Homo-oligomer: A and B are copies of this chain.
Amino acid sequence: MPTSHAFDAPGPGDLPRSACGAPPVRRLKLLVAYVGTRYAGWQLQDARKSLPTIQGELERALGRLAGRPVRVHGSGRTDAGVHAHGQVAHCDVPADLPPRPWRHALNALLPMDVRVLDVMDAPAGFDARRSAGSKTYRYRFWQETAFVPPHLVPFVWRCGPLDRDAVEAVLPMLTGTRDFASLRNVGTKVRDCTRTVFGATIGEGPACEHYPPHLPELRFDVTADGFLKQMVRNMAGLLHACGKGRLDPGAVPELLRAGDRTALPVATAPACGLCLLRVDYSGER
């Protein structure tokens, strides 16, 4: 398992000094997993402060350990109800805190559906969002409507059977460096919608000893240098529409070129099926 032992014996000599002569801070890199079901997403809700968010839970726990407010910066914002296996965040804590087993201390303060997998000293200049080289999301389609193993209910979209050939025909249309304006959510103000999708694949879920003969799960994995808001859920909605025969894969390139989300006859796939698998910082993918 990941450990934070290296963090228990700090080397204060090379700590960064914050601006304005403030006390030196230590930048932490956090690896975080969560079940997003009961959260209003990653980001703090300014307008509705009472809604639980992942960022809010982490800031509350870190603030208790640091003895002062701590701001947490994620690699990106996951929507309400979206899960994460490997979200990455950074934060600055006072450098003069006594050494502590951060992972253990944070998990003792966090709700059980938010878990810190690892706490590391961040490399110099590290920023969870800006330093990210790529992110990988997974969308899980469940091809049975009547039956889902109950422990999987919060993590899949019960969408019924999909034509896998039609789904796979769309995948090459989603890769490469393109303008993805057609797949952003309506109302987003982003100037440059060009993103590079390094890979988009479809695979089956694992076999399960308890539910013969197999799991009727299709997994859509997609890796890109960045994603527009709701882009993966709109990709999943597009695959779903083609898999259901409601949209001809041959019509997809033209719809993507149009750059108009409202022209795409596709519903955004529900948040529950989506999970942020990992964020890569190495430059390798």
CB distance from A118 to the nearest CB of B (A): 9
| A86-B210, A210-B86, A210-B277 given; A115·B1 CB < 8 A | no
Q: How far is the CB of A4 from chain B (nearest CB, A)?
A: 9
- What CA separation (Å) do A218 and B226 show in the bound complex? 38
A221 to chain B, nearest CB (A): 11
User: Would you give the 0/1 interface string for A255-268, flagging 1 where the beta carbon is closer than 8 Å to chain B?
Assistant: 00000000000000
Complex contact A107–B147 (CB within 8 A)? yes
Q: How far is the CB of A282 from chain B (nearest CB, A)?
A: 15
Q: Which residues of B contact A86 (CB under 8 A)?
A: 210
- The answer to whether A147 touches B115 (Cβ under 8 A) is yes
Asked if A141 is at the interface of the complex by the 8 Å CB criterion, the answer is no
Query: Does A98 reach chain B (CB closer than 8 Å)?
Result: no
What is the total number of residues of chain A having a CB less than 8 Å from a CB of chain B? 37
Are the C-beta atoms of B144 and A1 separated by less than 8 Å?
yes
The 8 Å CB contact of A35, one of B145, B151, B213, is B151
29 cross-chain CB contacts under 8 A: A1-B147, A1-B213, A1-B216, A2-B212, A33-B149, A33-B150, A33-B210, A35-B151, A83-B151, A85-B210, A85-B211, A86-B210, A101-B146, A107-B146, A107-B147, A108-B146, A112-B148, A112-B150, A112-B153, A113-B153, A114-B150, A115-B147, A116-B147, A117-B147, A117-B211, A151-B151, A151-B154, A151-B155, A210-B277
- Listed in ascending order, the chain A residues whose CB lies under 8 Å from chain B are 1-2, 33-35, 83, 85-86, 101, 103-104, 107-108, 112-117, 144-151, 153-155, 210-213, 216, 277-278
- For the complex of A and B, 5 pairs with smallest distance between CB atoms: A104-B146, A85-B210, A112-B153, A35-B150, A113-B150
